[in-house]
Structure 1
């Protein structure tokens, strides 16, 4: 099994089985001396449950997923050109497909004996919405190896500065210039103060939008930094856990050796005492034999 085959197996299996399967693969690679494989396998991160559902769609319902993500280009075009009717139609279609894909993922999960709830399906919907808004996220989802839950709360693609809103019907032809002698009771020109007020309101809303976009960018940076720190901490924890496992194995081996040594020590001590007793008995027997011999020789 190469690392891609391991990754496919891990990201296809339920998240609860991920860590044990990965750790077993890491252990086996180390035992056979394949450090490169062990390092690569140890870096594979367990997906969130919502990410696992997205991976399930990428692997089991790829055609339908591609159909959903194929709306991204049309949505972006409609947004840039301010094509209101097309945008409304596409947005409705997007919501329908996202909802249908989330339900299908729930059905696939239940087939795999994994429980799902509405909150989890909403998280999956957020991932699919983010994939429609961001091509990078779309590629992550298509890979079938997504590990994180993603949500998108941006303002969509920027509009083309030269674009005009699309209209359903053609605009009416311009009216002929008014005769200054006619309609003396016509409404007066718009109040300049009202025009200035509306312009100030528009400018205030532009600033509010700029502030909101700046805040969103800052929060995204903090989110990315937090995710990077979480990834670093998770990897450090994984390394520490592996070190503890290695030390535990060494300790268990040392404890077995100590018990075996203690047993051998007791047996050797018993053998030494028995040998000492036998040596004492033999010495006594020798002394008696010598004494009898001396008596015989002196009497003779």
Structure 2
């Protein structure tokens, strides 16, 4: 059994089909006496819906995956060098790219017959953000075998263009010190703008809470599935031991039947030999009596 191929096949399945397919593959490996493959496949965990959408995107859009990986390298390099200009440029691209790719991933899921909610799409965005921040997470993500959303790299937050201030140059007659003392002019947001921002914050908060609840439920489901999987594995091991005992019992019973048949044949032979011996003894007795009735020529009688 080609384990890597089986793993790819399983993580290509929708989450609802994963567990049954995995257990069937484990049983297949056990029947083939491939213990190592059975153990590896049994250890696979059902992906969350967001992880499956991400895996689907990786398989269906390899060129877009390469672009996102390249953007991640650019962002990490800008972080290392503290290049503000590159950070602003990459940060602006980051949000546009991730939003577009997450929507495309959701579209792929819909085409596959599994439309997803905004909360799931938001979690897919978080997966993409995490892949940008860490080469290790990027490698896991690009393999298309995620089980759940990875944690974003510590110290690597998503960047927005307004996080880094634009460099200001001093006008003629103004010193850098004067420049630093002047706060940037800000336009006060209107009431409508404040209301829109508040609604957006509430919607994001609700989406985050919904996604977190979905992750908790998925984790509970995976825990239950793992317990079920362990019970199935124990039952399978017990079935195998029972089969071995039954095979030994079958052989012992066959040996018992053969021994009884041989004993029966031996008993028949003993009885036949006993009859033959009795017949021979009777014949010998008759011959002895017949001999005793014959006259002895040595005594001279006529």
TM-score by structure 1 length? Answer: 0.56
Structure 1 segment 194-209 matched on structure 2, within 5 A: none
Conserved 8 A contact 2:140-2:146: yes
The structural deviation recorded for 1:232 is 9.0
Larger radius of gyration: 2
| Cross-structure match for 1:140 | 140
Conserved 8 A contact 1:83-1:166: no
Spell out, residue by residue over 1:34-69, the C-alpha distance to the aligned partner (whole angstroms, 9 max, x if none): 222211211122111111111111111111011012
| Cross-structure match for 2:72 | 72
Alpha-carbon distance in 1 for matches of 2:171, 2:140 = 44
| Cross-structure match for 2:234 | 243
Deviates more, 1:113-122 or 1:72-81: 72-81
- Unmatched segments (≥5 aa) in structure 2: 158-164, 176-220, 247-302
Conserved 8 A contact 1:65-1:101: no
Alpha-carbon distance in 1 for matches of 2:92, 2:5 = 38
Tell me the SS of whatever aligns to 1:70.
helix
| Cross-structure match for 1:109 | 109
Conserved 8 A contact 1:50-1:120: yes
Structure 1 segment 263-278 matched on structure 2, within 5 A: none
CA RMSD of aligned residues (A): 3.7
The structural deviation recorded for 1:91 is 0.9
1:169–1:78 distance in 2 versus 1, CA, 3 Å: farther
Spell out, residue by residue over 1:155-187, the C-alpha distance to the aligned partner (whole angstroms, 9 max, x if none): 328xxxxxxx99576998997xxxxxxxxxxxx
The structural deviation recorded for 1:82 is 3.3
| Cross-structure match for 2:41 | 41
1:2–1:106 distance in 2 versus 1, CA, 3 Å: same
- Unmatched segments (≥5 aa) in structure 1: 158-164, 176-229, 255-300
| Cross-structure match for 2:21 | 21
The structural deviation recorded for 1:27 is 0.8
The structural deviation recorded for 1:83 is 3.0
Conserved 8 A contact 2:133-2:153: no
1:33–1:124 distance in 2 versus 1, CA, 3 Å: same
Pairs aligned (count): 196
Alpha-carbon distance in 2 for matches of 1:78, 1:32 = 52
| Cross-structure match for 1:188 | none
Conserved 8 A contact 1:102-1:125: yes
| Cross-structure match for 1:149 | 149
1:173–1:45 distance in 2 versus 1, CA, 3 Å: farther
Structure 1 segment 91-130 matched on structure 2, within 5 A: 91-130=91-130
Alpha-carbon distance in 2 for matches of 1:111, 1:51 = 17
Deviates more, 1:26-35 or 1:15-24: 26-35
TM-score by structure 2 length? Answer: 0.55
Conserved 8 A contact 2:46-2:222: no
